[in-house]
Amino acid sequence: MSNEIIKIDKAKFLETFTPQNIRTQLSRVKSCSEAIKIDKNGVSFYRKHIGQTEIETIIGALITNFQKSINVNKELTGFQIDELVNEIINSYYFLSIIEIAFIFKQAKTGKYKVNTFALSMPDVMQWFEQYTEERIKEFQKIQQQENQIRKSGKEIIDGKLYHQKTTLTEEKLLNVFKEVKKELKPKFNQKEYEQIKKQYNEK
């Protein structure tokens, strides 16, 4: 188990997740996969290292701003928002703040069904359930792609596919050469050794 101490600058964190900065980050997010890539840390991570109150405040602001942006006739009360925030944090602790913000963006743009007469907790939780299902499919897709890449003998470097090339170090190659020599007992010379080395590295 790692005993590494994680330190997060609280002031920098709060600045990163102001409503304006969240909107700026969301402007680049068009899909579930893009939302996942922006921040790998779920709210449970920040709740542990930043604090419960700060996380509740950020998510509460997302809900409040969402209500204002779609002109809900009957908005959630302060108590209902607190209840909803608590439910989100406890049930969807693995989602990042950006992902949560993206869910509300999706609802605002018509991806999820929104009752503009009266917003309710069951409606909002349904959006989270739909997004989570999409998220699972995205991770399954990524896993399948990685498996295919491994089977094809390729690797990803800086987002680009390359054929893997196995090159033995001099020390390892000498060990292989000694084992072959011991097993077959041929009278290899240096020239033959260099040929074997070249052929192996060209594979």
pLDDT digits (tens, 9 = 90+) for 162-195: 545 444 455 665 665 565 555 444 444 566 656 6
Category of 71 on φ-ψ map: left (φ > 0), alpha (ψ -120 to 50) or beta: left
Tally of CA atoms within 13 A in the half-sphere of 130 that contains its CB: 14
Give the integer Cα–Cα distance in Å for 8 and 41. Answer: 12
Percent of the chain beyond pLDDT 70? 72
- pLDDT classification of 82: cutoffs 50, 70, 90: very high
The predicted pLDDT at position 84 comes to 97
- pLDDT classification of 1: cutoffs 50, 70, 90: very low
Query: Residue ranges of the domains in the chain?
Result: 10-151, 170-201
- Full-model pTM: 0.70
